[in-house]
Structure 1
Amino acid sequence: MKDLADDRDRGRTDDRDRTDDRDRAKDPVDTWRRLAGDSVLLDGFHALKHAVRFRAEVLVAVTGDRRAALALADELAPDVRDTLDGLLVEVPEAAYRSLVPRPHPTAVAALAVRPSREASLRALTATHRTAPVVVLDQPRNLGNAGAVIRLAAGFGATGVVTTGTLDPWHPTVVRGGAGLHFATAVERLTVAELPSGPVFALDPEGEDIRGTKLPDDAVLAFGSERSGLSPELRARADHLVSLPMRPQVSSYNLATSVAMTLFHWSAAGGAPIG
């Protein structure tokens, strides 16, 4: 992921004035309200922790209990504790609750700069990819999309692409992904814009995936929770594969299907994570 991180670093200069605003602002609540419209909401301690680990540019970070947040950092994320110490500003609980649509149990929230579309597309369309791209074809459930992004980041996938109307950077998706959008490339594209590479689409009528080796540059496509693959995606597929499933069981959860498929790729000799 180094190239993607470097691209993000180079793309941050346009937002330096906003960072300067944060540094100069005396009131973090006022700063938040001015920046919230075009920033990524990091909802909760773990989202902020992961964003910092994967070099997101955090514009402002608030907490209703700074001591408790830093105690969590000491316990769960000592590698970024000093960075969080410099970022987190304590605000009254009522102020914190006014800034977020759904207060997190950790009472931590932050705003970050979204990676540039250009940087994400460079990663997704790289000529020699060493890990698959996951495609969610017209997904509907925001939480499921977030869980898939978290899985993809954990397996070291190149990225996650959604087609259709769901915004993969919606705050609920970012919350479900625990801030790991910054650990992989995340974009919304049309089927015609999908990255090159052999497309393996999951379908109940496909061949058993256990007899298939998934190449590192595979595009792994998963249909929507309700209607499956769209006709456009099915026409684009090079291979239809299915997951083992007991008869009379209707389907797996979307995130479960992605996890099983990525594990199959990894266990069969996928590129090492790191």
Structure 2
Amino acid sequence: MTDSPAPPPPSGGDTVLLDGFHALKHALRFGAEVRTALTTDRARALDLAAELAPDLTAALDALLTEATPEELRGLAPRAHPTEVAALAVRTPRPANLAALHSRPRTAPVVVLEDPRNLGNIGAVIRLAAGFGATGVVTTGTADPWHPNAVRGAAGLHYATAVERLDLDGLPPGPLYALDPEGEDIRALTLPDDALLAFGTERHGLSTELRTRADHLVALPMRPQVSSYNLATSVAMTLFHWGGPR
């Protein structure tokens, strides 16, 4: 199912919508500048903080403003079940590019070629943050900072470098592209400075990206099974990179 990119709700240019308590929690933990945070039930939100994020209780106490349901939906039209929404400053592009192009790089960069499903993008960013990847680069038209992607990532865009680039602007490093005709990943050691490239959800790698690849890599798969979900493929690849050396 394709989640077509749609215009985000008005959010002030350089700000991004944090939809839900967990997105706000992660953004704060990884240094986001939060400009506005609303909730329809401040006491409930602070109880949630005490239970799930005691390290942030004081910060949330100072930040959260109680709002009516109508005011909250003015910020987040599709309100999260936690009834919390916030606006945070988007990580500046120069800072993300500096992280992606840093040398030596101690963790891979995930490259998603022309992804279309914003939920998939968010899920991959969440995985990259969890594994400590340097960042996630997307090509194509979908904005990886779209509110639907930020929602899918639970605000973890601030824990890794997330940018949209064209293929000519990819960071340096050996390019390992996932392809069914590649070498079994179990026979390989993925270097820390690798670019791990994944093709589109429907068509796989483009000819251009496949040609650019230094290595084609295949995930183990039972015969007659056609493919894995994009986020599953990324998870398997990052787990292989981060496993026992």
Structure 2 length as normaliser, TM-score? Answer: 0.94
User: Secondary structure of the equivalent of 1:202?
Assistant: strand
AA at the equivalent of 1:237: A
Distance across 1 between alignment mates of 2:57 and 2:181: 49
Deviations 1:9-36 (A, max 9, x none): xxxxxxxxxxxxxxxxxxxxxxxx9853
Is it true that 1:190 corresponds to 2:166 in the alignment? yes
CA contact (8 A) 1:213 1:268 kept: no
Which of 117, 130, 136 does residue 141 from structure 1 map onto? 117
- Please list, as runs of the form range in 1=range in 2, the aligned pairs for 1:73-84 lying within 5 A after superposition: 73-84=49-60
After TM superposition, the score normalised by the length of structure 1 is 0.85
**Amino acid in the other structure paired with 2:14:** D
Amino acid across the alignment from 1:168: P
- Residue by residue over 1:159-184, the C-alpha shift from the partner in whole angstroms, topping out at 9 and shown as x without a partner, is 00001111000000000000000000
Name the structure 2 match of 1:95: 71
The equivalent of 2:131 in structure 1 is 155
Indicate whether 1:212 and 2:185 are aligned.
no
Q: Kindly indicate whether the alpha-carbon contact (under 8 Å) linking 2:17 and 2:85 is maintained by their aligned counterparts in 1.
A: yes
User: How many equivalent residue pairs?
Assistant: 237
1:44 corresponds to: 20
Which runs of 5 or more structure 2 residues have no equivalent in the other structure?
1-8
Alpha-carbon distance in structure 2 between the residues aligned to 1:267 and 1:234: 26
Look up the match of 2:29: 53
Distance of 2:168 and 2:65 partners within structure 1? 45
Asked if the contact 2:11–2:17 (Cα under 8 Å) also holds between the matched residues in 1, the reply is no
Tell me the C-alpha RMSD between the 2 structures: 1.2
Q: Which residue of structure 1 aligns with residue 3 of structure 2?
A: none
Residue number in structure 1 paired with 2:176: 200
Alignment of 1:228-247 (within 5 A): 228-247=204-223
Q: Which residue does the alignment assign to 1:24?
A: none
Q: Deviations over 1:199-241 (max 9, x none)?
A: 0000011110000000000000000100101122112100000
Matched with 2:238 is: 262
Give the C-alpha shift of residue 104 in structure 1: 0.2
Deviation at 1:111, TM superposition (A): 0.3
How far apart in 1 are the matches of 2:111 and 2:11? 30
The answer to whether the Cα contact below 8 Å between 1:44 and 1:104 also exists between their aligned partners in 2 is yes
Structure with a larger share of its residues in helix? 1
Cα distance 1:166–1:155, how it changes in 2: closer, same or farther (>3 A)? same
Residue 45 (structure 2) pairs with residue 69 (structure 1): yes
Aligned: 1:177 with 2:153: yes
**Correspondence 1:22-33 to 2 at 5 A:** none
Contact 1:136 1:163 in 2 (8 A): yes
The one-letter amino acid of 1:133's match is: V
1:126 aligns with 2:115: no
Distance 1:113 1:171 in 2: 13
Structure 1: gaps (5+ residues): 1-32, 270-274
Residue matched to 2:6: none
Aligned CA distance change for structure 1 residues 260 and 34 (closer, same or farther; 3 Å): closer
1:28-73 per-residue CA deviation (whole Å, 9 max, x = no partner) reads: xxxxx98534311000000000000001000010001111111110
Distance 1:193 1:106 in 2: 39
2: CA distance, partners of 1:195 / 1:35: 29
**Contact 2:37–2:86 (Cα < 8 Å) also in 1:** yes
